[in-house]
Amino acid sequence: MDETEKRRNGETEKREGACNPPIPRFPDSPISLPADPRPQKIGLFGGTFNPIHLGHLRSAEEVREAFALDRVYFIPAAQPPHKSGRDLAQATHRLKMVELAVADNAYFLASAIELERPGTSYSIDTIRDFLTALQPASLLFIIGIDAFREFATWKDYSSIPNLSDLLVTSRPGSPTPAPDRFLPVALQTLFWYDAETNVYRHTSGHSLILHEIAGLDIAASTIRAKVRTGKSIRYLVHPAVETYITHHALYKQEGASY
């Protein structure tokens, strides 16, 4: 390697008798910058992710951008309470696919928190664990409107708005309800609607926001059906996820567990 090439690669060479020491890339500063005083805004996006697809990723990206989130954690459910074991790939496979899908986005992270906790995966426990680990972050729990319709069946659902803001995203292909029809009956006493900001407020001060996304009309069930019938899933999932599904022969047979 000649001198020019070494300089281009950022390498400096110590030569005997050289009088100028190499310039450090980041000069030491006597002033230490104060830590960012702003609490981090963290998105939590839970789901079965069986498998994670571009609809999930695009939705999270739109939310991250719109709400200036510092990070979004994708949290695959180890034992989802609302989905049967049929056609459900092992949690380790689903986590791995999430890791592969988010690897090229610096704002996105995969979380194994629900795989590390024994038993059924409940969002309330996950939110509590994140609050403990990340205090004083402010949390935004992201749910698609189809999942939100079942919110009142979730464990301790009425405690969730005490801990976190909730963001309900529209789902492409499903009509978005008008504000007065949006809240399930069981939630109507917990929130009041602030028409000025178009946000539902909870007595704790946390918000519930209905957010329209452009999104992508993709469902994991469609992807599984395509794999089963030998159809292409290209451009529906991240290429690394497509390779993983092929390599591990996932979703080949209906009702099988992988």
Q: Which of residues 39-58 bind ligand ATP (CB under 6 A)?
A: 47-50, 55-56
- The whole-angstrom separation of Cα 54 and Cα 60 is 10
What tokens were used for 78? 């180890």
Which residue's Cβ lies closest to ligand ATP?
144
Contact by Cβ (8 Å): 63, 102 = no
Cβ proximity to ligand ATP, 12 vs 81, nearer residue: 81
Cβ proximity to ligand ATP, 11 vs 54, nearer residue: 54
Cβ proximity to ligand ATP, 41 vs 172, nearer residue: 172
β-sheet bridge partners, residue 73? 44, 109
The stretch near ligand ATP (CB under 6 A) out of 18-26, 144-152, 225-233, 247-255 is 144-152
Sole binder of ligand ATP in the list 78, 143, 183, 210 (CB under 6 A): 143
**Burial group, residue 10, by CB count within 10 angstroms (0-12, 13-18, 19+):** exposed
Would you mind telling me the total number of residues written for the chain in this entry?
258
β-sheet bridge partners, residue 76? 47
Q: Which of residues 171-200 bind ligand ATP (CB under 6 A)?
A: 171-172
Q: Is 147 in the site for ligand ATP (CB under 6 A)?
A: yes
Beta strands in 8-112 (DSSP E): 41-47, 71-76, 108-110
Residue carrying the six token digits 């230490």: 32
Q: Is 146 in the site for ligand ATP (CB under 6 A)?
A: yes
- The whole-angstrom separation of Cα 139 and Cα 68 is 12
Q: Is 215 in the site for ligand ATP (CB under 6 A)?
A: yes
Sole binder of ligand ATP in the list 111, 123, 164, 169 (CB under 6 A): 169
Sole binder of ligand ATP in the list 42, 44, 59, 233 (CB under 6 A): 59
The 3-state DSSP class for residue 95 equals: helix
The stretch near ligand ATP (CB under 6 A) out of 123-131, 179-187, 194-202, 212-220 is 212-220
Contact by Cβ (8 Å): 54, 101 = no
| Residues that bind ligand ATP in the complex, under the rule CB under 6 A | 47-50, 55-56, 59, 143-144, 146-147, 169, 171-172, 215-216, 218-221
